[in-house]
Amino acid sequence: MDLRRDLGPVAATSVVVGSMIGSGIFFGPQIVAWQFTSNGIDPTAPLVLSVWAVAGFLSLLGALTFAELAVAMPESGGQYAYIREAFGAKLGFLQGWSSFFIGKAGSVAALAVAFGNLLSEVEGGQWVGTGLDVTFVAVGLITGLTLVNYVGVKFGGWVQSSTTVLKVLALVLLAGVAVFAEPSGDPIATAPIDGSGSLLAAFGLALVPALWAYDGWYNSTQVAEEIENPDRNLPLSLIGGTVLVIVVYAATNWAYLHVLGGQGLAGIQEALGDVGAAQAAQSPAGLTAQLLGGDGLSTFILAGVLISVFGTCNAVILTGPRIPFAMARDGVFFESLTGVHDDFATPHVALLVQGAWSLVLALTGTFEQLITLVVFSIWLWVGLGGLAVIVLRRKRPDMRRPYEVPLYPWIPLAFIALAGIFAANLILESPVESIVGTAIILAGLPMYFLARRPGAERDVELEEM
């Protein structure tokens, strides 16, 4: 049985927007500002906002580039399919392996635990306790959202659209209220600023949390096979969704800076260190809301953070299983993962495998180490995905391309170069983690030879012009 095209333009765009707007915009801005103060540089509003603009611009370059691949190959798996077609089955498998079993499952586990911690803060911690209770919430969230997406992509898409609208409204309200507010004039104390640091180095480090907040702009490509009218709706979801998030992030960061000031924003990081999800009241969003509207607005924003994390978790659970499903259908992974439910038309076996592995990671806490070890690979893979556009233009010049990236080849080349620079910077900053992360990715090679089914490889027929 085939997958059904049950995701309309709103649901497809919500997958992108909902994936991007997670916890990053609530807990990342103070780290962006702090990277400047820690290097002796004043985090002025134009400087901080320029970091978010550059991160947004890089993400938009990626969306413009990936849209050509998505429309030319509107099939499950996204980057896996593009890298497979451009560079071969082995490299495609390694991308799918690291993305699904580490990136996707690890993200589901991290988001579920963060949701449990956040819920423990509601009403002063009266709703949920600590320890086992938080774990119980995480397990319940993973199980519940897996079942939601098990019974149909349309239902999962409806949940995604609803939570995305709510989280965007919460951020827009915060920015809207800030327009009528006076700056607090009382920033949290920061270390003395002597101007001795390197602006370029500080800017590069500040880009890391900003780009993490933008991650997910490519997620609709992973469910391309289930999107109605992909020629129209895939570019709309990728480009339109990314532009919407750029605008929302700009408005939200302006609100933080207007109310708290650049040094006040950085001071949150200095005062609290690594801000965890359970400290939502001390996040930029929580403090800004408290100053603007007291407990009422602060509680509303906390609810918005909860909805945001919930929606992002749903987006990852919705998109993740399509990767091993595509790999198995291509004959390079276990055949059982090709199962499509007779009634719900969902890749139910892959969904259950993802849910089970996410539960293991959530219960053992190993997701934090896994995500840290392979975060640099995200940009290696998307850089290769961008390169696939150029390779396939030469390798398959007659392939049907209803959408072509504008200003070719300059936009793909700019994206590839910037993604490569960012990945290289992460390797230089965290060499040990990068080496171990690479080893984890390469550990997928034995699995490739174990799980692939010689003679069962699918002959992918790409439509020609």
Whether 365 has a pLDDT exceeding 90, the answer reads no
pLDDT at residue 119 tops 80: no
Report pLDDT for 192. 57
Question: Mind listing the pLDDT tens digit for each residue in 284-298?
Answer: 887 888 788 877 887
- Residue 438 CB coordination number (10 Å): 17
Mean pLDDT of 57-80: 94
For residue 156, pLDDT beyond 50: yes
Secondary structure tally for the chain: helices H, strands E: 20, 0
Confidence grade of residue 279 (pLDDT, cut at 50, 70, 90): very low
How far, in Å, CA of 107 to CA of 109, rounded? 5
Regarding predicted confidence, which is higher, 309 or 128? 309
* Burial state string for 372-410 with b = 16 or more CB within 10 A and e = fewer than 16: ebbbbbbbbbbbbbbbbbbebbeebeebebebebeeeee
Question: What is the residue extent of each domain of the chain?
Answer: 9-451
pLDDT at 132 over 80: no
More confident residue, 108 or 462: 108
Which pLDDT does position 276 carry in this prediction? 39
Q: Which of these, 462, 30, 67, lies nearest to 252 by C-alpha position?
A: 30
In the predicted structure, residue 67 carries a pLDDT above the cut 80:
yes
In this predicted model, what pLDDT tens digit does every residue of 216-259 receive, in sequence order? 899 999 999 999 999 999 999 999 999 999 999 999 999 999 88
**Does the structural domain 9-451 have CATH classification 1.20.1740.10?**
yes
> What residue has token string 């990342």?
28
pLDDT at 426: 74
Closest CA to 138 of 361, 393, 421: 361
Q: Rounded mean pLDDT of the chain? A: 85
Q: Can you tell me the distance from the alpha carbon of 9 to that of 13, in angstroms, rounded to the nearest whole number?
A: 6
The b-or-e profile of 303-336 (16+ CB within 10 A means b, else e) is: bbbbbbbbbbbbbbbbbbbbbbbbbbbbbbbbee
φ, ψ of residue 399 in degrees (nearest 5):
-65, 140
Q: Per-residue pLDDT for 275 more than 50?
A: no
